Amino acid sequence: MTSAQNTEPAAIRLSGRIDSNNAAQTEQDIRAQLAAAGSPDRAVFDAAGLEYISSAGLRVILRIRKDVPELKIINVNPEVYEILDMTGFTEMMTVEKAYRTVSVEGCEVIGEGFNGKVYRIDKDNVVKTYKNAGALAGIMHEREVARLALILGVPTAISYDIVRVGDSYGSVFELLNATSFSKILATQPERYDFCVREYVKMLKKIHSITVPAGKLPRIKEHELRSVRRIKGLIPDVLWDKLFRLTEDVPESDHMVHGDFHTKNIVVADGEVLLIDMDTLSVGHPIFELVHMYNAYVGFSEYDPEIVLNFQGYGAATARRFWHDSLAAYLGTDDEAVIKSVEEKVRVISYANLLDWSSRHSAPSDPATAPTQALWKRELIALLERVDTLRFDPPCDVSAPAELTLPATVDNLPRVTDFISGRLSAAGVRPKFVTQLELAAEEIFVNIANYAYTPYTGNATVRVAFTGPAESPDSAEITFIDSGKPYDPLKKDDPDVTLSAGEREIGGLGIFMAKKVTDDIRYEYVSGQNILTLIKQVR
């Protein structure tokens, strides 16, 4: 086989059905086309016309894949893609879906971040469009980090479809009756306090989550790159100080959103959700506050119309919301404390804004020069009096993290992923993680099968630790449901010495949970079953 023969992949169309009736003939036809193309080691199967594929058809592709190392399947309809995905073919080769086309013309914008906009396309669904050229890669990244965030306890939405939107792509989410906090602030000012309270509650929840090592990028590295790019825009001695101050911000493995503003917080069917997850990172909360300040004040500091056009409410509301959210986040009404933290935030904010502006416009551009001059003056003045960017985060990062979801067996993977994620993030040994997963599975399945029969209700799973956050002494996993009162600890342990024919069915689940934990506690309080698994992990 010559290299010239392999320059272009063989293009082969698949159509109709491939099943036991025609699999042999289909394979013969494909191999004939491969031979006509010079038997290349690269091929692209266009599955736009493929309606169905059975296991016999999958075996055809598998045999051909062994002879054609670089095999790619494109334009796969959702039904066929699901078959290829569940059978592992999407792991063995590149498989690309055929994406339906969606128009957002005239659709309401309910959210917007740095990289995209979220449009309502009907009463139940929204689509997030991407501004960057690598939209598909961005969608896959956001799906991955959103799934991680959901597992770790952040209420968010997971995309269920990818579509074409103009020349780019979008992710489709089901968000029933979703309304952004921006729209609430703009049209329902009487709900201002609700927005502040829920906004800060979500912010603290995010910042309390420890993310397993390597799962998310570090936001501090992004900010240091931003500082490096503005070298020369301010006096060298002040730039050196700026870099040193930024570098001195403590590292952290706690989650930050990176684009946390009111367009990215929505109320959907009564639940407050965080959207636009592609900027998810780990780091010190100051970097989160930087992007918050810029969204409410920084970008519009020279031109107040900017925040009105972006958020939908005026500069006065934006500044008030920033101040009140910061005060609530810090847990203080002391203006001196609030101002001190705000000045630290503004140091990095102005550096960030100068970097953004220098990359999007020329220094001599009359439309942006006054804004850049303002940011530069403010940054220089702050650097002359601010000597540290450190402050203690207000969140108790060892506070319990919890996940509430319908108590159905289908949700067991979410429960075990949530628990193992929290345990692993706290440095719990894999052996103990496995034991606690086993115990938790038995308890959750018991709730799912019996607590609400014949109906379905919610269960809350809470993970907490005792001892130092970096090396806890024990882990406590608590299950809470509002189903029928039931204390599983009252049931006698099964006699495991009996033969299979002599044993009673049932009872092994709680018995196993007892065996792999150090203590199990049950109480019935205010109409709720509360069961806690306790395990020494040091």
Q: Does residue 398 carry a pLDDT above 80?
A: no
- List the structure tokens of 215: 């799962």
Residue 71 lies in a domain: yes
Question: Tokens for 344?
Answer: 């630290």
DSSP annotation string for 123-174: SSEEEEEE-SS-HHHHHHHHHHHHHHHHHTT--B----EEEEETTEEEEEEE
Residue 444 resides in a domain: yes
Question: Is 288 contained in some domain?
Answer: no
3-state secondary structure 465-508: EECCCCCCCEEEEEEEECCCCCCHHHCCCCCCCCCCCCCCCCCH
Question: Would 341 be classed as within a structural domain?
Answer: no
Average the pLDDT over 418-430 and give the result.
82
The parent domain of residue 486 ranges over 401-536
Q: Count of CB atoms within 10 A of residue 85's CB?
A: 15
Give the full edge-to-edge strand order of the sheet including 474-481.
401-406, 458-466, 474-481, 528-536, 519-525
| Domain annotation covers residue 175 | no
User: How much is the pTM?
Assistant: 0.62
- Model confidence at 408, pLDDT cuts 50, 70, 90, reads very high
Q: Is the pLDDT of residue 195 over 70?
A: yes
Per-residue confidence at 480, pLDDT binned at 50, 70, 90? Answer: very high
Number of domains present in the structure of the chain: 2
DSSP state of 450: I
End position of a domain, from candidates 67, 97, 127: 97
Residue 440 confidence (pLDDT) above 60 = yes
Question: What is the percentage of the chain residues whose pLDDT exceeds 90?
Answer: 43
CA 418 to centroid of chain Cα atoms: 13
Q: Residue 87, CB half-sphere, CA atoms under 13 Å: how many?
A: 18
Q: How confident is the model at residue 113 (pLDDT cuts 50, 70, 90)?
A: low
Higher confidence at residue 91 or residue 284? 284
Give yes or no for residue 497 having a pLDDT over 80. Answer: no
Closest CA to 45 of 25, 15, 21: 15
Q: Tell me which residue has tokens 């810029």.
A: 294
Predicted pLDDT of residue 502: 41
Residue 322's pLDDT band (cuts 50, 70, 90):
very high
CATH of the domain at 12: 3.30.750.24
pLDDT of residue 507: 47
327 falls within a domain: no
40 belongs to a structural domain: yes
Amino acid 367: pLDDT? 74
Total residue length of the chain: 538
Residues β-bridged to residue 118: 111, 128
Whether 254 contacts 209, CB under 8 Å: yes
Tokens of 73: 């399947």
Mean pLDDT computed over 459-477: 84
Highest mean pLDDT among 212-216, 233-237, 423-427: 233-237
Pick the last residue of a domain from 32, 63, 97.
97
Tell me which long-range contacts 427-436 makes (C-beta under 8 A, separation of at least 24). 427/470, 427/471, 427/472, 428/472, 428/475, 428/537, 429/537, 432/475, 432/535, 432/537, 435/516, 435/517, 435/535, 436/475, 436/477, 436/516, 436/517, 436/533, 436/535
Q: Sorting pLDDT into bands at 50, 70 and 90, what band is 145? A: confident
Predicted pLDDT at 336: 92
pLDDT of the residue at 496: 41
What's the average model confidence in pLDDT over 314-336? Answer: 93
Range with the lowest mean pLDDT among 95-104, 414-423, 452-461, 491-500?
A: 491-500
**Confidence band, pLDDT 50/70/90 cuts, at residue 506:** very low
Kindly state whether residue 239 falls inside one of the protein's structural domains.
Answer: no
Q: Which residue has the tokens 């991407």?
A: 130
Residue 1 pLDDT > 60: no
Question: Residue 178's Cα: distance from chain center in Å?
Answer: 18
Q: Which of 55, 78, 97 is the last residue of a domain?
A: 97
Is the N-terminal amide bond of 454 cis, ω within 30° of 0?
yes
Over its C-alpha atoms, the chain yields an Rg (Å, rounded) of 28
> What pLDDT, in 10s, does the model give residues 63-109?
898 888 889 999 898 888 888 888 888 888 889 888 888 888 888 88
Pairwise CA distance, residues 441 & 434, whole Å: 11
Angle between helices 285-296 and 192-207 (to 10 degrees): 150
